[in-house]
Amino acid sequence: IEKEELREIRFISDELAKKVGVIQGHIFVYADRVAFISSDSDQNSVIIENQALANVQRALFEVAWESVKND
């Protein structure tokens, strides 16, 4: 953990990185909203206001985060 930056970074395995390829987008979860933003040339975005879907995205993040080794 980089305490001065208040962040922790984890990386997926090389094998998984090859499998999923380049991810051209971002997902932000805040309050009862989920924002999907593409980072390709179109830069489209969608914001969904729904507490249940925000909770699903938070849970998916936790599962992914816990499945990655902390180096």
With respect to residue 58, please indicate whether it lies within any of the assigned structural domains. Answer: yes
With respect to residue 18, please indicate whether it lies within any of the assigned structural domains. Answer: yes
Strand partners, 28: 35
* pLDDT one-digit tens code per residue, 5-14: 888 889 888 9
With respect to residue 6, please indicate whether it lies within any of the assigned structural domains. Answer: no
**Number of folded domains that form the chain:** 1
With respect to residue 63, please indicate whether it lies within any of the assigned structural domains. Answer: yes
Residue 34: count other Cβ atoms within 10 Å of its Cβ.
20
With respect to residue 3, please indicate whether it lies within any of the assigned structural domains. Answer: no
Q: pTM of this prediction?
A: 0.79
Range(s) of the domain holding residue 20: 14-67
pLDDT for res 69: 74
Is residue 43 classed as helix, strand or coil in its secondary structure? coil
With respect to residue 62, please indicate whether it lies within any of the assigned structural domains. Answer: yes
With respect to residue 1, please indicate whether it lies within any of the assigned structural domains. Answer: no
Q: Rounded CA gap, 36 and 44, in Å?
A: 8
Q: Rounded CA gap, 25 and 46, in Å?
A: 11
Residue 2, pLDDT > 80, answer: no
